[in-house]
Amino acid sequence: MRIRAAALTALAALLAPATAHAAPGDEITMPVRDALAALTVTDESRDGYTRDAYKHWTDTDRDGCSTRNEVLIDEAVTDPARSGRCTLTGGTWFSPYDERYVDGPRGLDIDHLVPLAESWDSGASGWTAAEREAYANDLGDSRALIAVTAASNRSKADQDPSTWMPPSAGYHCRYVSDWVAVKTRWGLAIDPAEAAALARTLGECPNAPIGVTTAR
């Protein structure tokens, strides 16, 4: 165990410069377990957190559709009808958390894969308001926001993988891989329990490469 821990520490040290000093827009590609090892592990604090610190569901590209509706349009299995100022009706979606199909947008939540509160704990408490707004409306990486059933999203709430995983076991590898990708993209840390849970799950998954464009 000591040898394994030393090897992981050495690997993290080798990889850290590529991520710790990355500039916005840099491209990073590495096996997912290496990406996990490169994340900073530290204790977290939720002191001062409020959801109001994150302005979300904005219309960044000014096309009339909020971030929520942009995700719904992009992830629809059957396209919804769009009218007026991007009012969506009809359509079908698949919620991978619980393997359920949903008819119509009203039964869906848009989940921040890494929740807003979790991002605050992991480094976003020190960001500017503009950076937090960009995080909350991140359409630059399809892994950041995901349409899921309201029930599964509310069951998850602001938990990390140490205390909550999707009900669908077949989605676990994808979920933790995407979690690592989002944390890498935004330069967020992980806490010890989270690190252990991610390593445990990824140890049972293919060590597939992830590609990330850094956001900050």
- pTM of the entire predicted model: 0.89
Q: Is the pLDDT of residue 11 over 70?
A: no
Q: Where would I find the beta strands (DSSP E) of 104-205?
A: 108-112, 145-149
Return mean pLDDT, the chain.
92
Task: Please give the helix or strand (H or E) that residue 14 lies within, else none.
Answer: helix 2-20
pLDDT-derived band at 23, boundaries 50, 70, 90: confident
Instruction: Give the model's pLDDT for residue 21.
Output: 57
CA distances from 152 to 2, 6, 12, 35, 85 (A): 38, 38, 34, 27, 28
pLDDT-derived band at 9, boundaries 50, 70, 90: very low
What angle do helix axes 192-202 and 172-186 make, rounded to 10 degrees? 130
| Sequence-ordered list of residues with C-beta below 8 angstroms from that of 115, at least 6 positions apart, any chain | 156, 157, 158, 159, 160
